[in-house]
Structure 1
Amino acid sequence: MSDMIPARLAALKTISTPELKQQWRDLFHAEPPVFNRRYLESRLAYRIQELTYGGLKPETVRRLERLGEELDGGDRKKRTMRLDRDRPIIGTRLLREWQGVEQIVTVTATGFEWQGRPYKSLSAIARTITGTRWNGWVFFGLKNHRGRT
């Protein structure tokens, strides 16, 4: 069985996206996420190998959990706070010109506001403005395309 694994992994690059999504359903017993094809391929490749050769050793899982707790003490609120410290200050106005129209977003306590409507993420606003998926932080110039601020 394990001698077929390299062929299965190579096939992920050549099969259609609907076939990739079906493999996701078969291997994860859930609907595939809306991420891009490359994400699906890499996650499926890992899952195929995980099911064949076994996942992480329990010792490794425990070590990763300990490292995570060292960072945030196991407190989910601290994880959220770490994300919040990167957000612009409440009341900040973000400006972006898109196809000759100036778009203005205001940072609120619960997310963002654009054209009088509340949004939880900048990506949702960018998607509404452009009609395509965007990283909202990149779209509004808060991070460059490589993810650095």
Structure 2
Amino acid sequence: MSLPVDQRRRLAALKTATTPELKAQWRDLFDTEPPAFNRRYLESRLAYRIQELAYGGLKPETIRRLERLGEELDGGDKRKRGIRADRDRPITGTRLLREWQGVEQIVTVTADGFEWQGRPYKSLSAIARAITGTRWNGWTFFGLKNHRGRT
């Protein structure tokens, strides 16, 4: 089953939309303020949402199964699902993407730290400082933690 033509056009237009346009679409499709993540994240989530609305999203049985798996991991406490301790960093091999001043920055999580532009770093904050020239919380800069400290 393929998407209707208007939905396919809407998906294709995500690539050329400005960031403010993407944020406006986010507000329209999710009825919330957009997160402070990079452009690629907004595009991918908007594309998923457009398709979800066209096809109907996950089946109820899939949602129930995911909820059960979540309960197994956190003992049924939904508040714990959003908590991320700093020691729980992304899995080795994860690529973190961040657009800064029109340039996409890609960081790879390694077994003992992070890699950016072929160089190893011990912290995301050091990478954020190298990119921006100012001090940043690396977790916040790469969208792993919001400005209030929540993940």
Q: TM-score range by the shorter chain?
A: 0.5 to 0.7
Counterpart CA distance in 1 for 2:80 and 2:31 is: 32
Distance 1:54 1:69 in 2: 25
Report percent identity of matched pairs: 68
Offset, 1:80: 7.7
Q: Which has the higher contact order (CA 8 A, sep 6+)?
A: 2
Deviations 1:26-60 (A, max 9, x none): 11122211111111101111111111111111000
Distance, in Å, in 1 between the alignment partners of 2:139 and 2:87 is 15
Q: 2-side partners of 1:62 and 1:27: how far apart?
A: 23
- Measured in 2, the distance between the counterparts of 1:76 and 1:47 equals 23
Which residues of 2 match residues 62-101 of structure 1 at below 5 A?
Answer: 62-76=64-78, 83-84=84-85, 86=87
Root mean square deviation, CA, Å: 3.4
2: CA distance, partners of 1:134 / 1:60: 34
Q: 1:131 to 1:85 in 2, by over 3 A?
A: closer
Which position in structure 2 is the counterpart of 1:58? 60
User: Match for residue 25 of structure 2?
Assistant: 23
Distance in 1 (alpha carbons) for counterparts of 2:45 and 2:21? 14
d(CA) in 1 for partners of 2:12, 2:82: 38
- Matching residue's letter, 2:39: R
Matched AA of 2:56: G
Partner Cα distance (2:42, 2:50) in 1 = 12
Q: Relative to 1, partners in 2 of residues 1:85 and 1:28: Cα closer, same or farther, differing over 3 Å?
A: closer
**For residue 86 of structure 1, what is the amino acid of its counterpart?**
R
Runs of 4 or more off by more than 3 Å in structure 1? Answer: 76-81
- Give the alignment partner of residue 138 of structure 2, picking from 134, 137, 143: 134
TM-score normalized by structure 2? 0.53
Q: Secondary structure at the match of 2:44?
A: helix
Measure, in 1, the Cα distance between the counterparts of 2:86 and 2:19.
Answer: 37
Q: For residue 37 of structure 1, what is the aligned residue in structure 2?
A: 39
Match of residue 14 from structure 2: 12
Unaligned runs of 5+ in 1: 88-121, 139-149
Question: Shift of the alpha carbon at 1:9?
Answer: 1.0
Gaps of 5+ in 2: 89-123, 143-151
